[in-house]
A and B are shown apart, each in its own frame.
Chain A
Amino acid sequence: MKHSTFFWFFLPTGLAMLLFIAFPLVSVVLQSVHTPHEAVLVTVENCGPFGCKHETTIDQDATRALRDAEPLGRFVGLDIYFDRGHLAIAEVREAWVTSENWSGFFNIIGNLPFYRAMAFTLTFTFTVTPVLIILGLMIALGVNALSEKIKGLVIFVSLLPMIVTPLIGSLILFWMIDSRGILGNAIQWLAADPDLSLKASTGLTWLMLIVYGVWHSAPFAFVVFYAGLQTLPMDQIESARIDGASRWEQVRYVIVPHLMPLITFVALIQLMDNFRVFEPIVGFNAEAHAQSLSWIIFNDLGGETRQLSAAATSSMLTIFGVAILLSPVLWRTWQDFKGKS
């Protein structure tokens, strides 16, 4: 295909991505190094019968003029990155110096909003991903062994947790797990503690969110692995069986290696997707105990104040995190490309 033809074919989609992904990204970068103008103050000397007084007032007109002239605000460099709401360099250094042991250090760090969100985001990402892969594999193996008649129905039902809107899915589970809901009741009965509430403790809230994350994403792993199982080399299974491999050994040494590329694929996709965890926190009303990076951005953007600069800085840090998780994918794609050409 000629360059010019390619250009015209690609123009609409390229333009859409340029205007609404690339430019906003630049805008985010710019905002993260700017902060809103401070109000312009004027000091006026007021002389009355009892002597002169200096009064400082906000010059509304000048402030507005300044804000209109430079809507981005004033340039502050990396200050916002290092402030208390983000990387909190000063606080971390102080904690390092003052705390006597590791637990003291982590206690202080754990109270800084960015690190607290990071702790939850990483815990969530790195617990949910392996668990959902194992669960997805188990479901795929199970469904593969079912009789043809009910396979379709089981696949239909399995897709539901994944297809349903994350916010709605988490609300549905949240209402069941509420201390007055059926699961909440059941848990209270099992624990023999009528006051037990999953919402009240940080650990249980995290557990609840992780369970939701697995419930929501396991179907994806299941569908991918199930498709992989359809291409299973039957002769290998057969020969493994003849050699006396038990069923577990067949799974362990034939099926799992065969699915390994798909397992890597699911792991990489899910690491990136779980890193952006956000809707469940809103749905489960769990802000008090669990905050993710995405939730911090959302919180800064919402409400009356709309702290764009703070949100932009959190966005940049989030993108940085995603970039680290994405790098193996990029590396693989690059290797594939080099191999092809």
Chain B
Amino acid sequence: MSTRTIAGKTVQMNDEGFMTNPSEWTREIAAEVAKEEGLPDLNTSHWKVIEFCRSDATSSGKSPTLRRITTATGLSTKEMFALFPKGPAKKVAKISGLGKPEGCV
């Protein structure tokens, strides 16, 4: 476990680049991490997904799977891949300051 300073804030992060304390997250951090993930401009659709993931994780204690996101937001999997290319659930979890989704065990 290590710490990292992003967008002027020091946060805890694991080896895979996932934040380990969701309460340290800010929207500025999201924008910065998104940039590193190849998404320089987050639009309203991106934020809709990020906000869903944040609120879902607050109640469930874990990152939602891709299927959970598409079921809840009404976005198709295809649209999710367009918004967050290459592993949407993982990417959005990272940007949202949440742990790696547990979909695969």
A and B interact physically: no
Interface residues of B (CB under 8 A from A): none
